[in-house]
Amino acid sequence: MKILVYLPRTLGASLLAFPCLKSLEENFPAAEIAILPPPAYADFFQKVCPGYRVVVLPDFKDISGLKRASSRLKKMNFDLGLLLDESFASALLFYLARIPQRWGYDREGRGFMLTKKSHLRATDPQLHLKFHYLKLLEALGLKIVDRPLRLDLPGSYRQQALDRLKQAGLSPDLATVAIKPGSGFGPARIWPLSRQRELIQQLLDSRLQVLLVGSSASRETSRALLDGFEGRLVDFSGRLSLEETAGVIAGAKVFLGNDCGLTHLANLLGTPVVGIYGPTDPHISGPSQPPAVALHKPAPCAPCSYKACPYDHRCLLRLSAGEVYEVIASFLAG
């Protein structure tokens, strides 16, 4: 039996779907399971998920692209397609590819294209994304397995990361805290720079090494943080591949990040995670397994989906540098 899993379209949500993949393996131990990840992360998943075949399809933003993608997929002869992405387009792709069994949530009017589906009512409580995906399997009659998972990063990536750290002047004998300061989503998720600077000073005063990570979307925030620290910070934002970033995070003693894919990557790598959540709800998208702490200050206007806060950013301003430092220190002491 050949199964294809259409992963959610963001890195964080795809990583939160890993328990669902493991449960699928438990239910179909003899099956060949393939994954269809977001195109931007296909290369990364190929390198760090050797247990799964990674399917890469041409991008389809129009009908002709969809036809090309479905034609290629049809030739792969999958028996079952599990849709963890909940868009109409993903179901249409599997439908046009004539995958015999197509399972997923009945959303966006796509139910007629699914052979097995689960309905979500407006009154259903919103679950953490990990349990949202597991609940789909349970609703479809499968058993679910929920146990801690670890992403087994190849040793070569860890060594590459160690080499990069040495080149940047960091010592392997001193503890390092990796910080993801910016956000590709928008400034609403960025902890105020004044708070970040205060925390970084506390970390440096404690003889900890601090490095900044993230995509090119974090560069502006990282550059702003570098001012005043006179070369005592190492900025890798936008300078590493995702697998190199994973190696750096795996070698850190603590990872500090907001609601982003790297936070969930660090969580899967087993690095202690301190998550800073303001406009988003950690009960929905927070780190899913220990060691992790999600810091969140309730605000009357949260949760929200604004990219930029139209008010006073109180959800993040209420979180002090001292509170974050205490959590980081507790991980370092443990």
Q: Give me 279's structure tokens.
A: 């406009």
Are both 233 and 112 inside the same structural domain?
no
Taking only the tens of pLDDT, the chain with its 334 residues reads 999 999 999 999 999 999 999 999 999 999 999 999 999 999 999 999 989 999 999 778 888 999 999 999 999 999 999 999 999 999 999 999 999 999 999 999 999 999 999 998 888 899 999 999 999 999 999 999 999 999 989 889 899 999 999 999 999 889 999 999 999 999 999 999 999 999 999 999 999 999 999 999 999 999 999 988 888 999 999 999 999 999 999 999 999 999 999 999 999 999 999 999 999 999 999 999 999 999 999 999 999 999 999 999 999 999 999 999 999 999 999 8
Q: Name 286's Cβ contacts closer than 8 Å, sequence gap at least 6.
A: 128, 259, 275, 277, 292, 294, 296
Q: Give me 18's structure tokens.
A: 């890993």
What pLDDT is attached to residue 58? 79
**302 CB neighbour count, 10 Å cutoff:** 19
Q: Which domain holds residue 71?
A: 2-139
What pLDDT is attached to residue 122? 83
Are both 98 and 187 inside the same structural domain?
no
154 occurs within a structural domain: no
Mutual angle of helices 88-96 and 63-74, in 10-degree steps: 50
88 occurs within a structural domain: yes
What does DSSP say about strands 116-118 and 101-105: parallel, antiparallel, or unpaired? parallel
The last residue of one of the domains, among 108, 139, 170, is: 139
The last residue of one of the domains, among 139, 171, 195, is: 139
148 occurs within a structural domain: no
